[in-house]
Structures are given as C-alpha cells and as structure tokens.
Chain A
Amino acid sequence: MATVPTTARCVVIGAGIVGNSLVYHLAKLGWRDIVQIDKGPLPNPGGSTGHASNFIFPVDHSREMTDLTADSMRQYKELGVFTESGGFEVARTEERMEELRRRMSSAKAWGIEASLVTPEEVVEKVPFLDPSVIIGAFWCPSVGVVDSLRAGTLMRERAMELGALNVVSTVEVTGLDVEDGAIRRVRTTGGDIEAETVVIACGVWSPKLAAMAGATIPLTPAVHQMISVGPVSQLAERPGEISFPIVRDMDTFCYERQHGSDMEVGSYAHRPILHDAEEIPSIEQSKLSPTELPFTSDDFDDQLEQALELMPEVLGNPDVEIRYAINGLLSLTPDGFPILGETAEVKGLWSAAAVWIKEGPGVGRLVAEWMTHGNPEYDAHQSDIARFYDSQRTREHVKARTSEAFNKTYGIVHPSEQWASSRDVRRSPMYDQEQALGAMFYETAHWERPFWYAANEALLGEYGDRVMPREAEWDSRWWSPIINAEHLAMRERAAAVDLSAFSMFDVKGPGAKDGVQGVVVGQVDVEPGRVVYTPVLDQRGGFRSDLTVMRLGEDHYRVVTGGMTGNQDRKWFRDHMPADLVVEDTTFAYTTIGLWGPRARDILGKLTDADISHEAFGFSRCREIQIGNQTVLASRISYVGELGWELYVPMAEGSSAWDLVFEAGREHDLIAAGIGVYGTTGRLEKGYRAHGAELDTERSIVEAGMMRPRVKEADFIGREAYVKQRGEDPLTVLCTLTVDDHTSSTGVRRYMLGGEPIVTSDGEPLVDGHGRRAYVTSAGSAPSLGKHILMAYLPPDQAVVGNKLAVSYMEELYPVTVGAADATSLFDPENSRVRS
C-alpha cells in the first residue's frame, strides 16, 4: 500500500494532463515540497487524458481559449510530443461555408495561418475522402496530435529533477478537511497530508472532490463517443502515428483522425449523455478504465453512415473492422470554459478542471502563475471559477446548459445566441411590465434582461432608414432595428433602462476608505455623495475591471459593477482588503433603473421635490431623494452619454418605482429601452469601453486610452506598474473606427458583429507591439451618427485619426477609417449632454 508524506507545501490531486502540467510549472516557479497524488496507476491513471483523441485545432472564436491552446502547442512541441498533421474542417452546406469564412476571421484575428480550399484540394491531401460530399473546407496546416500521457510523464520528471515533487499513485482521496474556511488536510487511503494549498485537477471527478470540502466545481462528466476502425491499408502504407490531415466533418459533428493504421471516428452528434461524478465506476469495476464506458452503439449509428459517406473507400472496406468503441467521459461546463482558480468557498482550495488536451499545458502554466503571483499572463476572466453565481452552480443548471451545449461543440453558434435552457431564474421587479411591453429577453448572469421591446416597433416608422436596417440574415440574427429606434428616441427624448443585473457590494467599517483606496485606481478619498468611475488593476497593471464606487458615508462605500463580473470583482475586493472590513453583497437588495435623455430632468423633476438642477445635483454626484412615496439613491452618471441618473431602488419597490417613472414620463414620450442601447449603441457612440471586450488583464489603462492627468498619492494594486506604463510609449492603442462602405461583392450591405480582423486597405495584417493582430473588440450601430462603429487595438503608428484601413468580414474587405485614437467619443465629444 502506497503511503503519502504527512505534510506538503501544496497537494495536487490528479495526474492527468492538467495535474502534470501544473506540478511542472509550479516547480519552475520555485515551489517545492509539492505532493501529487492519483488514485490510479501511472502513467495512465484512468481519467479522460488516457483515452483522449489528442488532436489540436488551434483556431477558436474565443481569444482566451486560442491563447491557451497556442501556449499548450508550444509546450507540447518543446517536450517533443507534437506531430504536425494539418487539419481540415469540411463543409457540406453553404451555411457551413459561411461559418468557415467566419472561422477565417478568427484565424486572421489571432494570427494563425489558415485558408479556405476546394474539395479537390482536400482530396490532394486526403485521397480517400469523397469530394462530391463536400463543397469546401477550412485548412489549418498547424493542426497536430500530441502524446499527452508522455507529456505528463516528462513534466512530472522535470518537476522531480528540480527536487520539487513527490508523486504517489494508487492512493485515493477520502476527505478534505477545512478549518476556518481554509483547507488544512487531505485525507487519503495512504494517510493524511497537512497542506494549506490543495489543487483539484481531477477532471470528471472534480465535483466529487470539491464536495468533500463543501466547495463546488460546476462541471459534469459527459460522454463523447469514439470508435477506432482498422486495419486501413491506405493508412498503413505510411509510417508513423499520423501522416494524413485530420478531418472535422463539421456538419455531421464528427471527426476522422488517423492513428497508425486505424482511423478514429469521434462524435459530438449523439444525444447528450451526462453522468454524475459520484457514479463513475471505480477502477476495479471498469472493463477498460473508469472514463471509457461501454459503447452504446445505437447512439452512433447515424454517424457511422455519415462517416461512410465521407470516406467510402476506407470505411466501406469489409476488412476494416470496428476494433475499439467507447463512450469516453470528458468534462463539460455550463458555458464551455474551463473552471480555474481558488474556489469561492474554501481558501487555499483551487480548481484546475474542465480542461481538454488542447489547452492542458497552457492551463497548467496559467494556474501556476495565478497561484504564485496572483495574476497570470493570460486574462482568465472567462475561466475564473468565481464567475459562477450560486444558481449557476446547481446541478440542474449544469445539466441543462451542458445538454444544450453538447451538440453545439461543432455547431454554428451566433455570437449573440441565447441559451434556451435554465432561463427565467432571476427576474427583475419590473419583469411583468416588461413582458407587457413585449421585451425580448437576453440572459446575463441568470438575469432576464430586455434587449429591446416589441412595443417600440412603432418607432421604426418614425425613424425610417435612420435605424440602419440589416439585410443579411446572419448580421440581423439576435438583433433588431428596434434597438436603434430606441436609441434615437432616447437621444431625442428619454428612455428608462432596467439595470437589475448590476452586481453591487458595500464595503463598510473603520478603514473602509483606505481599504477601497488600496484596490482601485481612482481617488476615493472624496466627500460622501461622490461617484467615482474607476479601473481596478492587477499587480502588473493589467485591467481587472472597471466599475463605479459611491462614497455613501465616512466608512461606507458601494461598488456597482456588471453582472457578468460581479462575483469575480467582489472576491478580488474581499481578497485584497483588510479582513476586518465588511464586504457585503447588496445585489439582491437593490434594483437599478436608468433614466437618460434630454428630458430626464423634466421627468425626474415631476417625481421629486429635491433640487436636481445641474448646479445642485452635478455630474458624478449621488444622494438619496424622494420620488413619490419612495426613497431612492440617485446617482448622476451615464454609460450612454446622456443627462440622467441611475436610481437604486429597494428591490421590493422596483416595480412601483418603474411605474412612477413611466407615469411621469408619459407627457415626455418616455420609452423603455433595452440593453441593446445601454450595452452597445449608446456606449459605442460615446467610446465607452466594456470589460471583456476592450478591457482585460492583458490591457493597460494607457493602451485603453483611459489615462487621467494624475495618479493619486495613495498606494493601490498595480500603482507601480501603472506609473511605469505612463512613462512609456504604448505598444498598442485602442481606437474607434467607422465603416465607410458596407456593400459586399454581391451587393448586400454587411454589418460586422465583432471579432473580425482589422487590416491595411490592401489586406495586410496589422501587428501591435505585443505581437497581437488587430481585431474588432466591439461592433455596433451608432444610429445618431448613421455609422457602424468598430473598436480595435491598433499598432501605435496606425492609430491616427483619419487613417484608412479595412475590416475583413466573411472573407471580404470593407473600408474603415480611424475616428478616434483615444477615448474621445464620436458622438458629443465635448460631453455637453452628460453635463447639461
């Protein structure tokens, strides 16, 4: 019986690709006394790594995932376990070809070599594919396969050579002890280990392990079916594991990958088959391994026929037999991203889970950096475990979303596509009124948020072509010209916006001022009643978030931030402030109603006796006022560039406050406007940056053009880095561009949606000082300007107002002009409306 050491600096549970990469990177970063355990034998302890198909396609629509994949490929190559094969994504339909054109956009935006090819060009490299079945393909020469088990062994060995690692296999974790909210001990069948840092890198078992400590890792084990057929004479003729490109048959959600003389066919087409982490068989109970479950052939039959269609010569040969077939378990998460970082519930207990082979080593490095410095090189907000709210950790939610997502693995997913399952969880107090107005609800952080209102359709007639209608179905999917009509009505009159999805937390107690000062860039040593919009940086001066801070009292601040990042922001504040300060989540205490437009003061004035004149209630001030029979906190700020207020209303009174505002607004033609205006058109016209689009930890205040004249004296996280950045020329500059001509080669006007590469007028790539390609971070209508606006980071020498460039959309170039090379807004650049 194997035994474990009694203490460790850090325990890594799991010896799959993630655990192995992690111990290596921790060792490299100077960690010692690491103990890695696994219940299975090495080198293949029986998790998902052991049966992975091990191929890597580098292009993803998400930059974060693409970065992690690229980093992993570099590491696999350095370890000598990568074989480049090239890969095709083939299209059977025109709709898929269009998606492959979009894939080209992503490839160009991330700087990965790729091209679109004809069926004949596919056959040149894959002679046994029937070209009559496909109409074209996306070719990526850098696709390859890896030996992930060998990579893991090498990484463990390197960590051991550094004297950093003790590996113990065949011991199973039986408990995780938590004391005072922090991890203390790992109990195993081979003894107990005292440790203050423990990482769960257990793939599909991670939820079970987390539960032992009272934490949650919201992933589910799910089946991915795979068969291996052979011997295929055409494959056997060439030596080595792989000498033909991998083929992803995108429309059938399948892939064909050579493995020696065998062909592996894998599927994401079958019904979602989910398992529970607690129900996975033990090693003894399993025929092959715990994650290679019995094949359910019924689920695969259709895919077999489709594969036969694509490769009849190979798969139709009666001597080619199905020699191996499994229902392989892998990890799925509700939003498709990994689950990384310290768990919300237990200090010192980390998750490195829901990671596939293609991003494993990159994740190992990222998590190791995170554990070491608190701020990994790559922005991790999409993978951060803190992104999940309680309702998003529920098993029901995980099952619903992963079931819905499974068949989208190779699907054509519109960037604005909404989930159909696990909806209607968080309703704002105004939900009924909004439904009556025909709200089109989108979901953010489980909140139902109106994106536009069918009731405003009448405005379309009023504004005609000023609403910039979109002809192409793809451009107008999950969009409505009503958004632009609402925008114009807000700019002319006034609009109310439901902002219930804001996340809020209060910081209270003696020392609150110093506590908040230490976290945010902006000066919060201000008189109570001031509102401060401020960046929050990490230690390297990267943008963690941007949010508003209201000083409500001597020792009382309220932070208002986006619903998407609220949990992460709250954890960041909590982790970086003195323990005696209270950080209290007030998200569910208040709803927020935004009231903006030239008539906002007239409307609010009807409801209150308070002096709300510009002189008495200036911009960036907040105070309690009475509206009707309610007391609300009014804050004069705007994300849409208009005169107006955010009204923070006790949740229970939100519905009646909404009614009050609309009663008062009737004579001023107040409309309800959706998040389409708030989040896109209004903000883009004003050049306001959004976290997750323009802002992330890989960007600085200077690069984002958000530098203020002075840096406050008080110290704050990232101050030193920020001061240094201010003294240097930026390597990249955030710009606002407008599209000069929308007409495609077929005469259709096209509207970019975001993510497209920005190139020179003749199509040459633009590379900034970080080595990144220029790409569109946000795109949307600017109805007041009659323009389509794009934001993008450009190389500094290209960031010149008036510079003529191009945007590549669906493989065609459209001319664009740089409209602003800093935060200056294209609409109302003097900000006279906000300050009127």
Chain B
Amino acid sequence: MVNVLVCIKRVPDTSESVLLTDDAMAVDGRHVGYTVSPHELCAVELAVQAAADGGTAGVVSVGSGDAVEQLRDALAVGVQHAVLVEADDAAFGPADVAAALAEVVEAGTPDGTPYDLVLLGNDAADTGDFQVGIRLAYALGRPVVSGVSTIAVSDGVVQTTGAGPAGTEVFEVPLPAVVTVMEGGVAPRYPSVMGRVKAKKAEIDTRTPSVTPRGNGRVRLKLPPEQPSQVVVLGEGAAAAPALVDLFETMGVLTK
C-alpha cells in the first residue's frame, strides 16, 4: 500500500511542429491543443499501477485554472484526487513550482496520511528546464532518482529501472522518495467513458501557494533550425516491393 502523488504540467502538444508565441516566451498551443508531456503520461500510469493494491494516487499541477483539464484527464484514467495550486504560469519559475509542490507534498493526502512517493516527468515538454524534480527532492529532503522508466514498490522501498549511458540502471531507494519518469516503460491507458464521467464530477482541491515567486529568468525561447526532410519515392504499386524489402533490411526490421 503506497500513497503516490504525480506532478503534471499543462503544456502545448509538441509532437508536431512547434510554434512560439509572439513574444517567444512560451510555446503556442493554439492549433495543437494542450496536454501533459509523454513522460508525465507514463508517470500517471505508473502512479495508478503502484496505488492499485489499496494505496492512493493523487495528482497535482501548479498553474492556471486551465490545468483543471489535465487534472481531470488524470482522474479519468484512475487517479483518485486532484489538487490545483493556482499560480501565474509566467511568473513561476522551476524553483517556485518546486516550492509550491513541496507544500502540497508536506500537507499529505486528503485523509492526512503522508505521500510515500512523488512522481514527476523527467523534464517539461515546452520549456525543458530539467529542474523541478531535483529541486523538489532537495526541498523535501528526500532521495531522488531521475530518468526512470519503471518502478516497483515493496516493503518501504522503490526499485527503479531506467536507461543509463552504460545500459539499464536499477536503483533501490527507501521511501519516501521522489522519482522523475522518462517515457517508454509503460503504455499510458486511455480513459474509459465511465472514467471520464467520474472525472467530470470529481472535486478539484484548489489552493493558493504561499510561495513568493522568484521567476524563471527566461530571456526567450528559440526554435532549433528546421531539419529538411527528404522524400524518396521507392516506386509505385507492386514494382516498389523489392525496394521496400531492401529498405526494411537496412533498417534491421527484416532479414532476407
């Protein structure tokens, strides 16, 4: 039985070409809509699985009221309670977000029991700061493992698995702990209709942080230079088959 809290951030979907806002201080989500990063989707899935044997899974986001949409998405796939820490996205930098999250972790679950495990995405999909997880662990005085793809909790210990430079890295860390998650270890589930209906009705616990923001120090965001894409037409119809087989072989997905 473990109490897990997942921290998520509402971000524009960046899976296709990225547009910046006019002031280049943020990613523009106008066309693509908002979501959470793939890392966080996996963190939510890990939290739901970890809490499945009688524990609780909670979700928290620091940001504008719009983030309720993402909190409800998490509730729809099995997270049990949600906290929104209302804050001005532009004013809150990574250190401020970590401080605000620490307040939520320290306050514990709705029934007052402490959170054993805090999961975050490895890095934000829009700003790529790579900071909040580590800062949060530091603020809480808890151990932290980053870049984790799967977790297993038993007897007060979380075992994490993730890809490292020399191969798979496995850590065992005593709870309470903080873990930042990389996508790839689990497949996030889709919501069921019932899940969505329940999520729609769930109360969102909305709080105001006591943090005085120090800001993010961001000057501007810059898009990387466009990678030119090259299209090679292999042929048409059945005549293209041999070329396709050759290509598959080069890619290593087929051996002749």
Contact = CB atoms under 8 A, between A and B. Distances in A.
B32 A318 contact: no
A287 B17 CA distance: 8
Nearest to A263: B193
A316 interface: yes
Contacts of B135: none
Interface stretch (A290-298, A560-568, A608-616): A290-298
A297 B33 contact: no
27 contacts: A281-B31, A281-B32, A285-B19, A285-B31, A286-B32, A287-B15, A287-B16, A287-B32, A293-B31, A293-B33, A294-B13, A294-B34, A295-B33, A296-B33, A301-B196, A304-B193, A305-B197, A308-B193, A308-B197, A318-B192, A318-B195, A321-B189, A321-B190, A321-B192, A322-B190, A322-B192, A323-B190
Interface in B160-191: 189-191
Given A284-B17, A293-B33, A301 B197 contact: yes
Contact of A285 (B17, B193, B196): B17
Nearest to B189: A321
B72 interface: yes
A320 interface: yes
B195 A301 contact: no
Interface residues of A, number: 26
A285 B32 contact: yes
A320 B15 contact: no
A560 B73 CA distance: 61
Contacts of B195: 318
A704 interface: no
A229 B196 CA distance: 12
B69 interface: yes
Interface of A: 229, 281, 284-287, 293-298, 301, 304-305, 307-308, 315-323
B196 A294 contact: no
A297 B31 contact: no
Contacts of A321: 189-192
A40 to B, nearest CB: 14
Contacts of B69: 297-298
Nearest to A294: B33
Contacts of A301: 196-197, 200
Contacts of A318: 192, 194-195
Contact of A308 (B17, B19, B194): B194
Given A293-B31, A297-B72, A315 B19 contact: no
A284 B195 CA distance: 32
Given A286-B31, A318-B192, 12 more contacts: A229-B192, A285-B16, A287-B13, A287-B16, A296-B33, A297-B196, A304-B200, A307-B193, A308-B194, A320-B193, A321-B190, A322-B193
B240 to A, nearest CB: 16
Interface in B1-53: 13, 15-17, 19, 30-34
Nearest to B16: A287
Contact of A286 (B16, B192, B196): B16
B16 to A, nearest CB: 5
Given A284-B17, A294-B13, A308-B197, A319 B192 contact: yes
B191 A294 contact: no
Q: Which 7 A-B pairs give the minimum distances between C-beta atoms?
A: A294-B33, A281-B31, A321-B190, A315-B193, A284-B17, A301-B200, A285-B31
A300 to B, nearest CB: 8
Given A294-B13, A298-B69, A317 B32 contact: no
Nearest to B192: A318
B20 to A, nearest CB: 12
Contacts of B30: 281
Given A287-B15, A301-B200, A229 B31 contact: no
A718 B13 CA distance: 60
A287 B15 CA distance: 7
Contacts of A286: 16, 31-32
A317 B13 CA distance: 29
A316 to B, nearest CB: 6
Nearest to B14: A287
A317 B192 CA distance: 8
A294 to B, nearest CB: 2
A286 B16 CA distance: 7
A150 to B, nearest CB: 16
A296 B19 CA distance: 20
Nearest to A318: B192
A311 to B, nearest CB: 9
Contacts of B13: 287, 294
A323 B191 CA distance: 8
Nearest to B226: A284
Interface in B187-228: 189-197, 200
A295 B13 CA distance: 12
Contacts of B189: 321
